């Protein structure tokens, strides 16, 4: 048991040494962005009282419902693609094309 624990500890130390400087800097940038996001969210909630919090809860519930439905569709009929492929199958190719364009416009 002690030998296996020592080997696991040595393996963990080897993995820690494999992080490059740019990986560590990206971890730091991610932490800075995350901290700013949550601090800004707290300031927004403090200024707008519960309305901002209610909107985040409603958006979270809506996102959960959409991805729950997508998970059920992909479990029942697994195929490559996302909402576009299911819209294309359920309606027609034009519906899939329009949905892909709409989702693409949201990313801009």
* Tens of pLDDT, residues 82-91: 777 877 777 8
pLDDT at 40 over 60: yes
- Residue 29: the pLDDT is 92
pLDDT at 75 over 80: yes
pTM > 0.85: no
Residue 17 tokens read as 């040494």
Domain locations along the chain: 1-48, 64-108
- Residue 51: the pLDDT is 84
- Residue 45: the pLDDT is 80
Confidence label for 12 from pLDDT (cuts 50, 70 and 90): low
Helical pair 50-76 and 21-48, crossing angle rounded to 10 deg: 130
Section 61-72 average pLDDT: 90
- Residue 15: the pLDDT is 61
Q: How many C-alpha atoms does 107 have within 13 Å on its Cβ side?
A: 6
Question: In 1-108, which ranges are continuous DSSP H helix?
Answer: 2-17, 21-48, 50-76, 83-90, 93-107
- Residue 64: the pLDDT is 95
């Amino acid at each position: 048991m002690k030998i296996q624990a020592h080997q696991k500890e040595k393996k963990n130390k080897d993995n820690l040494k494999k992080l490059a400087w740019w990986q560590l800097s990206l971890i730091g940038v991610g932490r800075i962005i995350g901290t700013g996001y949550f601090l800004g969210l707290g300031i927004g909630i403090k200024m707008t009282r519960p309305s901002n919090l209610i909107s985040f809860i409603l958006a979270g519930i809506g996102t959960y419902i959409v991805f729950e439905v997508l998970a059920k569709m992909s479990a029942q009929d697994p195929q490559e693609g996302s909402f576009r492929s299911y819209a294309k199958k359920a309606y027609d190719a034009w519906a899939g094309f329009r949905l892909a364009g709409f989702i693409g416009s949201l990313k801009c």
